[in-house]
Amino acid sequence: MEAIKKEVRNNSWKGVVGSKEGFEEDNNRIHTSKYNVLTFLPINLFEQFQRVANAYFLFLLILQLIPEISSLSWFTTIVPLVLVLTITAVKDATDDYFRHKSDNQVNNRLSEVLINGRLQSEKWMNVMAGDIIKLENNQFVAADLLLLSSSEPHGLCYIETAELDGETNLKVRHALPVTSELGTDISRLAKFDGVVACEPPNNKLDKFTGDLSWKDNKYPLNNEKIILRGCVLRNTSWCFGMVIFAGPDTKLMQNSGKTKFKRTSIDRLMNTLVLWIFGFLVCMGIILAIGNSIWEHQVGDYFQAFLFRDEVVKNPVFSGFLTFWSYIIILNTVVPISLYVSVEVIRLGHSYFINWDRKMYYSKKETLAEARTTTLNEELGQIEYVFSDKTGTLTQNIMTFNKCSINGKTYGEVYDDLGRKTEINEKTKPVDFSFNPQADSKFQFYDHSLIESIKLGDPKVHEFFRLLALCHTVMPEEKNEETAMNIGYSCNMLTDDMNEVFIISGHTAAEVWEELKKAKEILFGRSTGFTNGYAFCEKLQELKRGSTVEESVTGDYALIINGHSLGHALEANLQNEFLEIACICKTVICCRVTPLQKAQVVELVKEYRKAVTLAIGDGANDISMIKSAHIGVGISGQEGMQAVLASDYSFAQFRYLQRLLLVHGRWSYFRMCKFLCYFFYKNFAFTLVHFWFGFFCGFSAQTVYDQWFITLFNIVYTSLPILAMGIFDQDVSEQNSMEYPNLYIPGQLNLLFNKSKFFICIAHGVYTSFALFFIPYGVFYNLAGEDGKHIADYQSFAVTIATSLVIVVSVQIALDTSYWTVINHVFIWGSVATYFSILFTMHSDGIFDIFPNQFPFVGNARHSLTQKNIWLVILLTTVVSVMPVIAFRFIKVDLYPTLSDQIRQLQRAQDKARPLKSHRRQPRRTSSRRSGYAFAHQEGYGELITSGKNMRVKNLHPTSGLGKTMYNSTSWIENLCKKTTDTVNSFSLDRTVKL
C-alpha cells in the first residue's frame, strides 16, 4: 500500500511515497491519560510528595525507626502515611482509568482503509499518515484528511464540527477538481501517488497551508480542502480522504494540550503552613533540648541510680541532641497525617453532592452534572474571573424563525383588531400548519399574513423562501465586534446602564496602543475629573504610586476586542496596559480568537492578577483555555464531548454554573475552611500539652498521654465529628445561597482561611493546651481523694487531661457546627461515648492479663473517674477553655455581624413567623471589579444593532466606590445564568439571541 512518510525539511512537513514498513510509529493512537502501568507508581508518588506534609511524615517515620530517640512506636506514623498515599493513589488511578477507557474507546473505532488495493476495516489506532480512508454519512473522521473525492457534485462534502468548535451548523469542504475525478474507483485511488508539503502540526483550527504535487503539477491547499479529526460527515453519502496528520499531530490533539496537575490555593497555602509549623516545631524542640541539657548538667547526676544509661548519653550536650529528635517525634501531631486523609474524604463527599444534584440534571439529554476531579471543589468557591466561550456555551447555537422582512414588508409581528401591535403570549393563537404535512410540529409562528401571502402566490415571498431553502449560508454584512456586542447584550453581559463600551479593533500594534490609551484616558479622566492631558498624566502617576488604581475608577465599563487586535495586545510591551484596562472593565468580550489566544488571556490573568480563574467551553477550541484555568468546566450535550473530556467539571447547560459556584462551590470552601480552622486548633491543643509537661518531667521526652490515646485521638476519637462538619455543614440554605450572591465574596477575598486565620486558630489551640495542662496540674498539686489517699499520680493526671481534652474539643465542634443533622449528633456524642468505652476497656484487668506490656494503666480509669474532684477539674477545664470563645462570638455577632449572620437571623425570624409568606430580597446590582471574559471562534449570526446605544451609553453618576462594588461581583453571573435557560437560549433572526 502507498503511504506518506514524514520528513522535516525547511520547517515543513513533506510527504513522499514510500512503503508502510518501517513507519509503524506514525500511528493514530492518542493518549490523554497521565500514567501507564510502569509509570504510575513513580510519577504518582512524585506528585504526592510535592506536598510538603507527605515528605515531612516520611522524614518522621525514618526518625521513629531509631530506638535511641523514638518515644513512640513506628506504626503510629507508617500506617496513616501508607493509608493516605494509598487513598490518593487509588483516586488518581481511578481518574486515569476513565481517561484510558475513553482513549481505548476512541482508538478502537473502526474505519475503512484502502490496503493492498481493497477497503479493509482497521482500528483508528493503526491508521497512519498516507493512508486513504473512506468515510460514510454520519461517521466520525479518524485523522486530519486531505479530501480527495465525494459523492456530491464537484467534490463537495458537509461536515459538523461540534467536537472542534462546539458549533452544530454544517460547514462545506470541497476536493481539488483533479482528485474529485477519482470518485469511487478503488484501483485509481490505490495508485494515487501525490506528495503533500504543508505546515508543521499546529493548533490553528481555521487555517491550513500547503500544496499537493501530483502528475508534474502543484496544487495549493487550504483549510477548505481539509477535514479535521473529530468532525462528522453529514448529508454526504461517502467521501475519500488521505491522512495528512495522525494521532498527536492532528489539530484536535494539538489543541488538547497536556493534562496538568492542578492544586487548589488552599493546598498551596497548606504547604506553606506546614513549613511554618515545622519551623515552630523545631523551635520547640530546640527549647526543650536546651532545657534537657541544662537539667542533665545540674540535676541529672542525682538520678544515675535510677536511670541506667550509656556513658555517652551522660554527656548533657549529646543528651540534649537526642532529646531534640525525640521531641520532634512527640510533637509531630501538630500536623497529623490524618489531616490529609480527612481532606480527601471531605472532597470526595463534596464531589458526590455535585454528581447527585438533581437540580443540575438536564432531562432533555438525560445528563447529570459530573465532578471529573475530586481535588478542586473548594476552589469553586473562590472564583474571581470567569472565562467563557460564547457560541454554543452562552448560546445554544440554535436558529429559530421569528421575523423576516420581504420587499420592505415585515412579517412576524402580531396586531390586534384595531391594528395595534401586541406582545406574543400564551394566549396568542399560532398559525395552523396542518395543511402542510411536512411542517415541523414544534415550530410556532403567529403572523397569519405571511401564510396568506404564500397562499396568494406573492412572487417576492416565494423567491425569499426559495433562496432561504437553496442557499447554504445566509449572513448579514456586519463587523465581528458588533456581532459580539449583540450577543453580549442578549446574554446580559452588556447593559444599557454601562458608562462606556470600548472597542479595540486596530490592525497594528500602534493602532491598538492608541485605542488602549484612549480607553485609559476615558476611564481615569472621568474618575479623576481631569480633562487636561498634562494634569491627567500627573494624576495617573499619582494613582499608580498608590495601593490600587482600580479603586479610583467608578462606574461600569466593558471592552470588546477582536482576535487580530488581541494578538498585538498580548505582546510583551502591551499586555500590561491591556490587562489593566480589562480588569477594570466589568465585561471583556474577545471575538474571532484562536484557542491559543484564549489560553494566553487566562494565563495573563493568572500570572499578574494572582486570581482564581474558571474557564467554561463546549468545543475542542476551548480545551487549551479549560486546561490553563484553575477550574475547567465543559458543557456536555449536542455540542460534542472534547471539552468535557478535558474538564474538571461538566454539565449540560451554562445556567448550572450559577448553582455550581454559588451553592456547591461556596459550601465546599466554607466547609473546608471551617474544617481546617478546627483541625489546627484541635491538634495544637492536643500536642502542646507535651510542651508544657516537658518543663515538669526533666525534659525527658516523656509523653503526657497513654500511647494508645495518642494513636487513637485523631483516628477514632475526633475523626468522625470533624468529617461530619466538613461534609454536611452549611451556614445558610441553598435557597439563600442563590438569593444572596454577596455571600460568595468571602471566598473571592479568601477571608475564611488565610494566614491570619491560621494564627488565630493556633493561638486558640495554645490557650486551650495551657488550660488543659495547668488547671489539672494546679489542682493535682496537693489533691487527695475522697478516701483521703493521695491521687496526684502520673496515670491519673494523664487520664484527667485526656478526658478533659476529648470533652473540650467535642464541645468546641458543637459550637462550630452551624447545621445539625442526625449524623452530626451521632458522630459527636458517639465519639465521646466511644472514648469512655475504649478507655475503660484498655484500663480493665482482663486486657491487662492478656497484654501486660501494652496496657500498663490497669484500673486507673475506674479509680480516677469515680472521684468527684476529678470531674470538677474536668468541668472547670472545659468552662475555662470554652467560655472565652462563646463570649467573643456573641459579641462579634451582636456588634459586627457578617452577611451570613444576618441571613441566619432573618431565617430564624421567618421560621418563627410561619406560616407568614417568606420574604424574598432581590440582590441590588452595582458595578463590579471582577471581569467576565467571553470568547468567540466563529462569527455569530443576527441583525445589526442599529440604535446606536450599543456604541456609547449615557453617562451615569459614579458609584460610591469599591466597598459596594466588591460585594456585587457575582451579580452578572446570577443574571447571566438566569437568562440562559434551556427553553429560551437560542439564536433567532430578530434578536440574535432570543431571551
Q: Which residues are known catalytic residues?
A: 389
Q: What are phi and psi of 299, to 5 degrees?
A: -120, -25
Identity at 356, one-letter amino acid code: W
Can you state the percent helix, strand and coil of the chain, rounding each to 5? 50, 15, 35
d(CA 285, CA 688): 12
Q: Rounded distance, CA 873 to CA 278, Å?
A: 33
What burial class does residue 688 get, using C-beta atoms within 10 Å of its C-beta: 0-12 exposed, 13-18 middle, 19+ buried?
A: buried
Which residues, in sequence order, are CB contacts of 432 under 8 Å at separation 6+? none
Q: List the grid coordinates of 255.
A: 489543541
3-state secondary structure 631-687: EEEEECCCCCCHHHHCCCEEECCCCHHHHHHHHHHHHHHHHHHHHHHHHHHHHHHHH
585: left (phi over 0), alpha (psi -120 to 50) or beta: beta
For residues 5 and 111, give the distance between their C-alpha atoms in angstroms, rounded to a whole number: 21
Single-letter code of the amino acid located at 333: T
Do the Cβ atoms of 403 and 990 come closer than 8 Å? yes
Q: Which of 285, 230, 290 is nearest to 109 (CA)?
A: 230
Q: Cα dist. 947→396, 475, 482, 496, 944 in Å?
A: 25, 20, 12, 12, 9
Dihedral (Cα; 776, 781, 782, 783), 10-degree rounding: 20
Nearest to 151 by CA among 135, 139, 170: 135
Handedness of CA 394, 397, 402, 406 (dihedral sign): positive
163 grid coordinates: 467536537
What angle do helix axes 666-694 and 338-356 make, rounded to 10 degrees?
170
Cα–Cα distance measured from residue 42 to residue 164, given in angstroms and rounded to the nearest whole number? 34
Residue type, 389: D
Helix, strand, or coil (residue 793): coil
> Is the separation of the CB atoms in 724 and 823 below 8 Å?
yes
Cα angle, residue 243 at apex, residues 240 and 248 outer, rounded to 5°: 140
Q: Across the strands, what pairs with 395?
A: 391
The widest CA-to-CA distance across the chain, in whole angstroms, is 122
521-538: b (≥16 Cβ within 10 Å) or e: bebbbbbbebeeeeebee
Please give the backbone phi and psi of residue 172, each rounded to the nearest 5 degrees, phi first.
-100, 135
| The C-alpha cell that represents 203 in the structure block | 493548533
Query: Which residue reads 394566549 in cell numbers?
Result: 427
Strands 118-123 and 195-198: unpaired
How far is 114 from 189, CA to CA, in rounded Å? 8
Phi, psi of 871 (to 5 degrees): -70, -35
Strands (E) located in 346-455: 370-371, 385-389, 399-400, 404-406, 409-411, 414-415, 421-422
User: Quick one: which H or E segment has residue 112?
Assistant: strand 110-115
Site of grid cell 472545659: 878
Backbone angle region of 196, left / alpha / beta, with phi > 0 → left and psi within -120 to 50 → alpha: beta
